[in-house]
Amino acid sequence: MIAPPGAGKGTQGVVIAEHFGIPHIATGDLLRDHVARGTELGRSVQTCLDRGELVPDEVVLDMVRAALEALQGDGWVLDGVPRTMEQARALYQIALELDMTADVALHLQVDDAELVRRLLARAVQTGRSDDTEDVIRHRLALYYEVTHPILQWYDERGILVSVDANRDAGAVGRHILTALEVLRQIVDRDDGTARKAVDLTGLGAAFGARPSH
């Protein structure tokens, strides 16, 4: 799932996981859990989280690799990663190694004003340390700068599904599940063409490649 903060990744990630009976792996939850338990990893990332900065790629990637390796059965929802081009590239390599490349990249589109409204409302309820107005605006800016451009790559791979997530969570959830159920039938019949392998050297503008001529 790729979406700006406040778009509902967490909520919809759980809806998808429950519907398909698969685990929901959310990097933000895993990191906050480390902070809450006071682990060494938690202590090393706490300042990043509080400021709305990204934690170092290798921290997230090691965590996600371990989570993927521990999976049993078929299927998973990844929420919160990749967040940068580098993470997208590295995650794809990891997934290739584990034979676990994604069938779908789900993008939740929400207008900025609605995002800020939701995050400020959430701040009152959860008291999450990064849900203050300044940090929210920073996380949003960071999303557009480093995360949003990844969508182009998933589009080129033919696995991007973009959903209007401005509506209430129930309506968005139904829309997502409908789209995924339709896609599941295509993926189940997949003869290898629906999920195109990607040549990492040929990802074009999404990875900042310059034309060779």
Interacting residue with ligand ADP among 24, 25, 68, 80 (CB under 6 A)? 80
The minimum distance between CB 53 and ligand ADP, in angstroms, equals 6
Identify whether the C-beta of residue 90 lies closer than 8 Å to the C-beta of residue 57: yes
Is 48 an interacting residue with respect to ligand ADP (CB under 6 A)? yes
Whether residue 76 contacts residue 25, with contact meaning beta carbons closer than 8 Å, is answered with yes
**What is Dmax (Cα atoms) for the chain?**
54
Choice from 8, 13, 52, 173 touching ligand ADP (CB under 6 A)? 52
Residue 198 binds ligand ADP (CB under 6 A):
no
Provide the minimum distance between the beta carbon of 152 and ligand ADP in the complex, in angstroms, as a whole number.
18
What is the 3 state secondary structure string of 169-206? HHHHHHHHHHHHHHHHHHHHCCCCCCCCCCCHHHCHHH
Quick one: CA dihedral 135, 143, 79, 175, positive or negative? positive
Q: How many CB atoms lie within 10 A of CB 68?
A: 18
Stretch that binds ligand ADP, among 75-83, 103-111, 150-158, 201-209 (CB under 6 A): 75-83
**Distance in Å, CB of 176 to ligand ADP, minimum:** 17
In the complex, minimum distance from the CB of residue 22 to ligand ADP, in angstroms, rounded to a whole number:
19
Q: Cα–Cα distance between 151 and 53 in angstroms, integer? A: 20
In whole angstroms, give the CA distance from residue 45 to residue 191. Answer: 42
Q: How far is the CB of 192 from ligand ADP (least distance, A)?
A: 29
24 part of the interface to ligand ADP, by CB under 6 A: no
**Cβ(185)–Cβ(177) below 8 Å:** no
Q: Residue 5, interface with ligand ADP (CB under 6 A)?
A: yes
Q: Does 13 bind ligand ADP (CB under 6 A)?
A: no
Q: Is 68 in the site for ligand ADP (CB under 6 A)?
A: no
Interaction of residue 31 with ligand ADP, rule CB under 6 A: yes
In the region spanning residues 115 to 134, those forming contacts with ligand ADP, defined by CB under 6 A, are: 130
Q: How far apart are CA 3 and CA 25, in angstroms?
A: 15
What residues line the site for ligand ADP (CB under 6 A)?
5, 9, 27-28, 31, 48-49, 52-55, 60, 80-81, 83, 87, 130, 139
